[in-house]
Amino acid sequence: MTSQVRLRLLPSARCLFDEPIQVKVAGLKSKQVVTMRARSTDEKGVVFSSSATYRADGNGEVDLERDPSFSGSYVGVEPMGLLWSMKAEALHKRFQKMSSLNPHVVKFSVHEEEEGEGRMLAEATNERFLIGDGVSRLPVKEGNVRGVLFTPPGEGPFPAVLDLYTLGGGLSEKRAALLASRGFVVLTIALYGHDDMPKNIREVHLDYFEEAIEFLKRQDKVGSKGVGVISLSKSGDLALSVASYLSGVDATVWINGCCANTAFPLYYKKSKILPPLMFDISKIIPTESGAVMGKYALNNPLAEENKDCLIPVEQAKGRLLFVSSEDDLNWDSKAYVDVMVERLRRHGKDNFESVSYPGAGHYLEPPYGPYCPSSLHGLVGKPLLWGGEPRSHAAAEVHMWKKVQEFFRAHLRCDGAQTKAKL
Residue 203 backbone dihedrals phi, psi, to 5 degrees = -150, 160
Whole-number Å distance between alpha carbons of 42 and 86: 12
Whole-number Å distance between alpha carbons of 111 and 70: 15
Whole-number Å distance between alpha carbons of 233 and 331: 9
Find all residues with CB under 8 Å of 418, minimum gap 6, and list them.
156, 158, 183
328 catalytic? Reply is yes
Whole-number Å distance between alpha carbons of 291 and 383: 5
Cis amide prior to 11 (ω within 30 degrees): yes
Q: Specify burial of residue 207 (Cβ count, 10 A radius: 0-12, 13-18, 19+).
A: middle
Whole-number Å distance between alpha carbons of 242 and 204: 12
Predicted confidence (pLDDT) per residue in 109-131, tens digit? 999 987 667 899 999 999 999 99
Residues in the chain: 423
Q: Which domains does the chain have, with CATH numbers?
A: 6-129 (2.60.40.2240), 136-411 (3.40.50.1820)
Return left, alpha or beta for 225; rule: phi > 0 is left, psi -120 to 50 is alpha, else beta.
alpha
Q: What is the pLDDT of residue 417?
A: 43
Using 50, 70 and 90 to split pLDDT, how confident is the model at 200? confident
Out of 109, 224, 233, 244, which one is annotated catalytic? 233
Predicted confidence (pLDDT) per residue in 390-403, tens digit? 999 999 999 999 99
362 catalytic? Reply is yes
Out of 205, 362, 377, 393, which one is annotated catalytic? 362
Q: What is the pLDDT of residue 313?
A: 98
Predicted confidence (pLDDT) per residue in 128-168, tens digit? 999 999 999 999 999 999 999 999 999 999 999 999 986 55
Whole-number Å distance between alpha carbons of 349 and 299: 27
Q: What percent of the chain has pLDDT over 70?
A: 96
pTM higher than the cut 0.75: yes
Indicate the helix (H) or strand (E) that contains 353: strand 352-357
Out of 85, 328, 393, 411, which one is annotated catalytic? 328
SS3 172: coil
Q: Flag whether pLDDT at 84 surpasses 90.
A: yes
CA angle 63, 65, 66 (to 5 degrees): 70
Whole-number Å distance between alpha carbons of 212 and 206: 10
Alpha helices in 254-387 (DSSP H): 333-346
Whole-number Å distance between alpha carbons of 164 and 350: 25
Q: Flag whether pLDDT at 413 surpasses 90.
A: no
